[in-house]
Amino acid sequence: MANSSPSNGAKPASVLFVCLGNICRSPMAEGAFRHLTSAGTSNQNPLIGEIDSCGTGAYHAGDYSDSRTMSVLRDNGITNYKHQARRVNIPEDFKKFDYIIAMDADNLMDLRDMVKRAKKNGQLNGNEMEKLHLYGEFGGKTKEEEIGDPYYGGRDGFEIAYKQDEMPITLYFLQTSRAVRIAWLLEELGLDSNVEYHDREANMDTPMSYRFKPGMAVGRSPGISDGNVNLIESVAIAEYLCEKYDKSSRLLPNDPAVRANVRMWMYASDGTFFMHGLSILYCSGAAPDSAEAISTCLTPQGVQAGVVS
């Protein structure tokens, strides 16, 4: 795997995911993280170096990842990932990787014990203990979450594990914008998210101050990041979230006619009605004579009459 150095000269961080046998959870996390960072491609995140996974046990050393793991990864668009299980290498892995991430508390405890023994034997003498983390520390939740072992269950357990593996969606929320619509939708879909809130300040230096993430259009809110997907425009975001996460098609029905009707009202709310609303807002502080001149078409009653007709 090629390592790219960031533009600021910082050393790319290397990441090792660890579970028990290295055929279910940790390769799933590795595959998802590789996909998230586009590792090994021209779009690679320059802050991420080597990504790997291993197990605290050698039960499946040399085996390929569980077929259910690979099936779930493929269903989520990750098709170019392969892995053979291995056991953690002592002391090499602890020296080599910057972040060693255990999928659950038991494996984290085993890793800590390995470090203690290696230090006692003189194999390690650095900050290796500080490299050890529980996967849930990075999930954006107030409580650290463990990734349960799905090995003895059905495929649905692997789907749950993948959902836990996914990094939460980031919503870029600009004050007094339509980002609140997306916040409501995320809640309706039961999706974990991080909200990056920005005040709309009159004294902000330039419109570039509103570029929340590289590659996003200047001044546009809401915006979201979901893995390697970055989107703006509230209707486009709503359609994307419903199509990807509303598995029951409750919000965006499968029936073509019904779906088209839903989309019609989505686009109308973002275009036709929104522009009338702006006109009403702008004219609400106008002088009585000028307000009277346009009241016929721009009052709520006028807008309603136009919609009904």
Give tens-digit pLDDT for 244-273: 888 788 888 889 999 898 888 888 877 766
Q: Is 54 a catalytic residue?
A: no
Q: Is 113 a catalytic residue?
A: no
Of 66, 149, 165, 226, which residue is the catalytic one? 149
pLDDT of residue 12: 86
The predicted model gives 205-209 an average pLDDT of: 45
Q: Please name the residue that has the structure tokens 């053979």.
A: 84
What band does 132 get if pLDDT is binned at 50, 70 and 90?
very high
| 132: β partners | 100
The predicted model gives 114-122 an average pLDDT of: 96
| 194: β partners | 170
pLDDT of residue 114: 97
Higher pLDDT among residues 108 and 275, named by residue: 108
Domain ranges of the chain: 13-165, 169-254, 271-308
pLDDT of residue 77: 84
Mean pLDDT of the chain: 77
Higher pLDDT among residues 284 and 82, named by residue: 82
Written as six digits, the tokens of 301 are: 């009653």
Beta strands in 138-241 (DSSP E): 169-174, 193-198, 223-226, 229-232
pLDDT of residue 42: 43
The answer on pLDDT for 56 being more than 90 is yes
The answer on pLDDT for 308 being more than 90 is no
Q: Please name the residue that has the structure tokens 């230096």.
A: 205
**Percent of the chain having pLDDT more than 70?**
68
Question: 13-165 maps to which CATH number?
Answer: 3.40.50.2300
Q: Give the other-Cβ count within 10 Å of 281's Cβ.
A: 9
What band does 90 get if pLDDT is binned at 50, 70 and 90?
very high
- Edge to edge, the sheet with strand 223-226 lists 193-198, 169-174, 223-226, 229-232
Question: 169-254 maps to which CATH number?
Answer: 3.40.30.10
pLDDT of residue 213: 54
pLDDT of residue 174: 75
Higher pLDDT among residues 196 and 25, named by residue: 25
The span from the CA of 195 to the CA of 264, in Å, is 28
Written as six digits, the tokens of 245 are: 């996460």
Of 24, 25, 54, 68, which residue is the catalytic one? 25
Q: Is 246 a catalytic residue?
A: no
The predicted model gives 301-307 an average pLDDT of: 48
